[in-house]
């Protein structure tokens, strides 16, 4: 049940192809990332999730079209993108505080000369938006995975982008941290009505938070509301739960999918 | 110049600085060390110690090629070759053909060998041996003018690019979403390091230049928590080592470059022991 006819402001991908070194990494990816919705990209390793993000960020040459259109289908020429990368590759001993790092993005004044009062307030306000005020003076290398993710989110949404791309870390962030992160993202979605694309590896949380789920394997296998996608044969195949049953249990207040190993041929648990 | 000399005499009436060559050397160190201290902070954070080492070695090849090609100025030959060499190393590094230290090692040994080959032709390497250890006492007022321009231009450029470089060093894709031209900034950075190293090499020497770039910044890292305090410590330690090294070398009648680096090394070891109280 793809939504090819729609009347929402959106980032529309139309038959996006990426070929690198003679290898097709993405083929005919068509999907919409709607404003005010959380679109979640799922798929196995090597399915092309990162490639799609890089194409969206304009880092990879691609075929097809990526357009930013308003609710009447008119092109909006500019697309401001905020990006939260999956991991940061920096020296953990680097003496750079969260404030230095964010100020470097906000102002032209070199941060080795210090941070002005005005910039500090701006950084503090951005951090407050993600419940991270206490991180202001913390060296970047001393932040936990979850804290770093919040700092990056604060940076990505100031100023508010049209499209927010979130590449969720595979590890290093615990379940509570992830939930807190997604709660913040949900609030931002409602407050700023921005289009959000999340690459996620946590299928349980995806189901709980996503408005629209896209299962990718070189091309879009299936997309739609979470329940629809999770019940689809493509989903069962991709996550190898075909012969097993999915049951929903309550665990620490979080709805979780746990595969129950039985020979019961019945498919789709709750779906 | 006379006015500056008079000021030095008035402020620092010590015997060592009563000679003009010592005053020139003193001024050269005051001009050179802050820029090296500043650039060193990022060189260390980006784990480029080995890179700048290789860059220093390329000065030999630069001079050698300058002689072969009939370039009249050693400095010009070193600068041009150093910049090309730096851009070449960072380009090959970006392609990811081999691990960074392998690439740098190849470049480093190639440039030393090529430099030695040319400069030792006819058994005449001895006259270039001051290049290896440097001679800060040979600074002329003309050189000081160069160094002053370099300090001002280098610091201005550094101020303009630092924030972008910092963002790019944390995550290149993230920096690009904030309109940072990561490649251009990186290239500018290696060019700046190359120029600073080449300007300093005649006074500090091929063998010691890297230590002067890296040691104050590493020592500063042990004592700092923020970008600002890192820069302050690094500049402070570089200037302190420079002045202390110069005066000690005069007193002990030894190479100034070596004394300066030893002071910087001492600062590093002290900072290492203080580190756990600060961090």
pLDDT of residue B229: 95
pLDDT tens readout for residues A39-66:
999 998 888 999 999 999 988 899 998 9
Q: Which range, of A87-91, A172-176, B134-138, averages the lowest pLDDT?
A: A172-176
Average pLDDT, chain B: 89
Say yes or no: A153 and A167 in one domain.
Answer: no
Contact A99, A137 (CB under 8 A): yes
CA torsion, ordered B200, B201, B206, B209, to nearest 10 deg: 0
Q: Where residue A37 falls among pLDDT bands split at 50, 70, 90?
A: very high
Contact B24, B140 (CB under 8 A): yes
Say yes or no: A152 and A180 in one domain.
Answer: no
Q: Where residue B97 falls among pLDDT bands split at 50, 70, 90?
A: low
Of B167, B169, B221, the CB nearest to A105: B167
Take residue A67 and report the two structure tokens written for it. 């357009």
Say yes or no: A106 and A63 in one domain.
Answer: no
Chain B residues whose CB is inside 8 A of the A78 CB are none
A253 in a structural domain? no
Say yes or no: A141 and A154 in one domain.
Answer: yes
Q: Where residue A251 falls among pLDDT bands split at 50, 70, 90?
A: very low
Q: What is the CATH number of the domain that holds B261?
A: 1.10.3470.10
Of B41, B174, B221, the CB nearest to A85: B174
C-beta atoms of A100 and B176 within 8 A? no
Using the Cβ of A57 and the Cβ atoms of chain B, whether some distance falls under 8 Å is answered with yes
Residue A1 has pLDDT above 60, yes or no: no
Average the pLDDT over A100-117 and give the result: 94
C-beta atoms of A96 and B174 within 8 A? no
Domain extent, residue B10, equals: 2-278
CA angle (B239 as vertex; B238, B242 as ends), nearest 5:
85
Closest Cα partner for B224 from B31, B44, B90? Answer: B44
A57, closest residue in chain B (CA to CA): B177
pLDDT of residue B105: 87
Boundary (domain end) residue, out of A104, A123, A158: A158
pLDDT tens readout for residues A134-152:
999 999 999 988 889 899 9
Boundary (domain end) residue, out of A117, A137, A158: A158
Say yes or no: A12 and A75 in one domain.
Answer: yes
pLDDT tens readout for residues B191-245:
999 999 998 888 888 888 889 999 999 999 999 999 999 999 999 999 999 999 9
Using the Cβ of A140 and the Cβ atoms of chain B, whether some distance falls under 8 Å is answered with yes
Domain extent, residue A102, equals: 88-158
Q: What is the CATH number of the domain that holds A172?
A: 3.40.50.300
Total domains present in chain A:
2
pLDDT of residue A170: 63
Boundary (domain end) residue, out of A102, A124, A158: A158
Say yes or no: A72 and A97 in one domain.
Answer: no
Residues 86 to 105 of A: which have CB under 8 A from any B CB? 88-91, 93-97, 99-101, 103-105
pLDDT of residue A261: 34
Count of CB contacts below 8 A, A vs B?
Answer: 97
Say yes or no: A93 and A52 in one domain.
Answer: no
A187 in a structural domain? yes
Chain B residues whose CB is inside 8 A of the A137 CB are 225-226
pLDDT of residue A255: 36
Cα(A170)–Cα(A200) distance, integer angstroms: 8
A3 in a structural domain? yes
Choose from B162, B226, B234, B235 for mutation: most chain A CBs within 10 A: B226
Say yes or no: A56 and A154 in one domain.
Answer: no
A73 in a structural domain? yes
Q: Where residue B98 falls among pLDDT bands split at 50, 70, 90?
A: low
Element (H, E) at A219: strand A219-224
pLDDT tens readout for residues B40-79:
999 999 888 888 888 888 888 888 888 888 888 888 888 9
Average pLDDT, chain A: 83
pLDDT of residue A253: 34
Say yes or no: A192 and A95 in one domain.
Answer: no
Residue A171 has pLDDT above 70, yes or no: no
Say yes or no: A213 and A165 in one domain.
Answer: yes
Choose from B47, B171, B276 for mutation: most chain A CBs within 10 A: B171
Residue B154 has pLDDT above 50, yes or no: yes
State what percent of residues in chain B have pLDDT above 70: 99
A248 in a structural domain? no
A55 in a structural domain? yes
Q: Where residue A258 falls among pLDDT bands split at 50, 70, 90?
A: very low
pLDDT of residue A58: 87
Using the Cβ of A78 and the Cβ atoms of chain B, whether some distance falls under 8 Å is answered with no
Say yes or no: A3 and A74 in one domain.
Answer: yes
Say yes or no: A100 and A75 in one domain.
Answer: no
pLDDT tens readout for residues B14-42:
888 888 999 999 999 999 999 999 999 99
Choose from B42, B228, B272, B278 for mutation: most chain A CBs within 10 A: B228
Average the pLDDT over A195-224 and give the result: 91
């Amino acid at each position: 049940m793809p939504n090819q006819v729609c009347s929402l402001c959106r980032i529309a991908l139309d038959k996006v192809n990426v070929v690198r070194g003679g290898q097709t990494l993405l083929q005919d990816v068509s999907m919409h990332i709607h404003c005010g919705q959380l679109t979640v990209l799922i798929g196995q390793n090597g399915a092309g999730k990162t490639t799609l993000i890089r194409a969206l960020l304009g880092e990879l040459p691609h075929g097809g079209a990526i357009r930013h259109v308003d609710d009447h289908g008119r092109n909006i020429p500019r697309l401001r993108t905020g990006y939260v990368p999956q991991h940061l590759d920096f020296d953990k001993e680097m003496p750079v505080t969260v404030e230095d790092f964010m100020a470097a993005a906000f102002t032209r004044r070199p941060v080795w000369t210090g941070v002005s009062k005005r910039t500090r307030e701006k950084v503090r306000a951005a951090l407050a938006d993600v419940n991270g005020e206490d991180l202001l003076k913390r060296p970047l290398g001393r932040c936990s995975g979850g804290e770093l993710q919040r700092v990056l989110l604060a940076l990505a949404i100031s100023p508010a982008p049209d499209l927010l791309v979130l590449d969720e870390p595979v590890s290093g962030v615990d379940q509570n941290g992830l939930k807190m992160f997604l709660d913040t993202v949900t609030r931002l979605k409602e407050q700023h009505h921005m289009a959000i694309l999340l690459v996620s590896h946590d299928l349980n949380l995806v189901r709980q938070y996503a408005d629209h789920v896209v299962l990718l394997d070189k091309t879009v296998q299936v997309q739609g509301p979470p329940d629809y996608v999770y019940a689809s044969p493509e989903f069962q195949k991709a996550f190898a739960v075909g012969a097993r049953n999915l049951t929903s249990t309550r665990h620490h207040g979080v709805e979780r999918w746990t595969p129950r190993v039985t020979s019961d041929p019945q498919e789709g648990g709750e779906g | 110049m006379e006015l500056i000399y008079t000021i030095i005499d008035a402020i620092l009436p010590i015997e060592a600085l009563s000679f003009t060559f010592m005053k020139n050397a003193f001024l050269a160190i005051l001009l050179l060390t802050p820029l090296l201290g500043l650039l060193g902070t990022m060189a260390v954070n980006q784990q480029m110690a080995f890179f700048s080492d290789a860059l220093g070695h390329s000065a030999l090849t630069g001079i050698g090629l300058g002689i072969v090609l009939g370039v009249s100025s050693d400095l010009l030959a070193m600068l041009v070759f150093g910049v090309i060499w730096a851009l070449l190393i960072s380009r090959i590094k970006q392609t990811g053909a081999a691990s960074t230290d392998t690439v740098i090692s190849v470049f480093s040994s190639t440039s030393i060998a090529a430099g030695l080959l040319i400069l030792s032709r006819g058994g005449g390497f001895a006259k270039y041996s001051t290049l290896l250890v440097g001679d800060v006492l040979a600074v002329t007022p003309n050189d000081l003018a160069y160094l002053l321009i370099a300090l001002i231009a280098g610091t201005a450029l550094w101020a303009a690019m630092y924030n972008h470089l910092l963002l790019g060093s944390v995550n290149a894709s993230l920096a690009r979403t904030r309109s940072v031209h990561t490649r251009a900034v990186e290239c500018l950075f290696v060019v700046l390091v190359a120029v600073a190293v080449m300007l300093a090499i005649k006074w500090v020497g091929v063998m010691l230049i890297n230590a002067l770039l890296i040691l104050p910044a590493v020592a500063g890292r042990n004592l700092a928590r923020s970008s600002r305090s890192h820069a302050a410590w690094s500049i402070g330690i570089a200037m302190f080592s420079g002045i202390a090294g110069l005066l000690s070398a005069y007193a002990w009648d030894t190479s100034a470059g070596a004394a300066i680096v030893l002071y910087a090394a001492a600062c590093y070891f002290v900072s290492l022991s203080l580190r756990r109280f600060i961090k």
